[in-house]
Structure 1
């Protein structure tokens, strides 16, 4: 299999961390240069017509895009350690938390960065600075929500580490790097403590 990925982008990192947590080997990593627009070229669009990363090319030539779909495939390929739920009920609740983190935490971070950071101007044309700043405000609102959630359980989806933690961590690290968002300095002590626990994981240090 081949995984088409991009350095430092949060969605490829989600898949890379998932692969590392699963100890899956034998996947060739193929870098895609986003700044050069390689993802919009004909060769890459033949694999993924919506021109996003990551994309997983299967041995039979079929291609999977969308982070959650790729991880679902890999979970089925190698069920242990389980990261997406052991029965239908747990799977549903883990997916709920994962999707909440993706849509209400990662997406505003990405919108803020894409519309305010000068280094992303080549990818987001035109940039809408006011929209980006408003998304940055939502990032802080959602950080408070996550901090409150972590008062109820130690991990994003409950009592154990799951894919929802990978999604949240990749989002937070993206915000730390390009928004200079510091959960501890912003007053979100539980979120910061969770981040420090996550940062100790080998999968977090590799990528």
Structure 2
């Protein structure tokens, strides 16, 4: 059975949890305590030298899948239904485009703002095995980028039920996890944005989003 290396308070492994749940892929879970720096220890480095979660070991003797892109590609290949990457060529293209946009313009904006201000992230402004100093100006830029994205995203959702193509996809997973995590910045993404609020309430009806 696959083993997911996880940390419940972090957004990136939550994306993997939701993907596996939506696919109905059973797995065991091992918690890596990021707050205690367990990801930097030799034991976890042997699994993922990048010192990040999620990491998914799909079978013994095979290198772990160490990012959400790889985990999603594997899950889609081993269990095509329900599809999270679309079914038609144009749907696949639209979903891929929105997923990349959300990662770059929303997820990374939140990461910039949080990791460059949080006291616990001092000298850990980027994840991984190398320490990097915080840059406060990046935090200011991250907040501005996030607020701009949220307003544009609300307008995008005004006439549709899901982020891309004609139904639920990985773009919804990525966006929902990012928007939920934005509260770490004391920003409520739903306030004054009725279309985001309606979309997020729709997703809350899916059991995977309780994870």
TM-score, normalised by the number of residues in structure 2: 0.89
**Structure 1 residue 183 and structure 2 residue 189: aligned?**
yes
Residue 28 of structure 2 corresponds to 28
Partner-residue secondary structure (3-state), 1:36: coil
Residues 183 and 189, structure 1, Cα contact 8 Å, conserved in 2: no
Q: Compared with structure 1, are the counterparts of its residues 184 and 85 closer, same or farther at alpha carbon in structure 2 (3 Å cutoff)? A: closer
Residues 182 and 189, structure 2, Cα contact 8 Å, conserved in 1: no
162-171 vs 191-200, greater mean Cα deviation: 191-200
**Structure 1 residue 145 and structure 2 residue 126: aligned?**
no
Moved over 4 A (4+): none
RMSD value, Cα? 1.6
TM superposition shift of 1:136: 0.8
TM superposition shift of 1:78: 0.9
Residue 52 of structure 1 corresponds to 52
Within-5 A mapping of 1:80-119: 80-119=81-120
**Structure 1 residue 198 and structure 2 residue 203: aligned?**
yes
Partner-residue secondary structure (3-state), 1:138: helix
**What is the CA–CA distance in structure 2 between the aligned matches of 1:85 and 1:91, rounded to whole Å?**
5
Structure 2: runs of 5 or more not aligned = 126-131
Residues 35 and 123, structure 1, Cα contact 8 Å, conserved in 2: no
TM superposition shift of 1:123: 4.1
TM superposition shift of 1:119: 4.1
Residue 18 of structure 1 corresponds to 19
**Structure 1 residue 155 and structure 2 residue 148: aligned?**
no
**What is the CA–CA distance in structure 2 between the aligned matches of 1:87 and 1:46, rounded to whole Å?**
39
**Structure 1 residue 171 and structure 2 residue 178: aligned?**
yes
TM-score, normalised by the number of residues in structure 1: 0.91
Partner-residue secondary structure (3-state), 2:86: coil
**What is the CA–CA distance in structure 2 between the aligned matches of 1:95 and 1:156, rounded to whole Å?**
11
TM superposition shift of 1:72: 1.0
1:142-163 CA distance string (max 9 Å, x none)? 1012112112422111321101
TM superposition shift of 1:37: 1.4
Residue 128 of structure 2 corresponds to none
TM superposition shift of 1:135: 0.5
125-134 vs 139-148, greater mean Cα deviation: 125-134
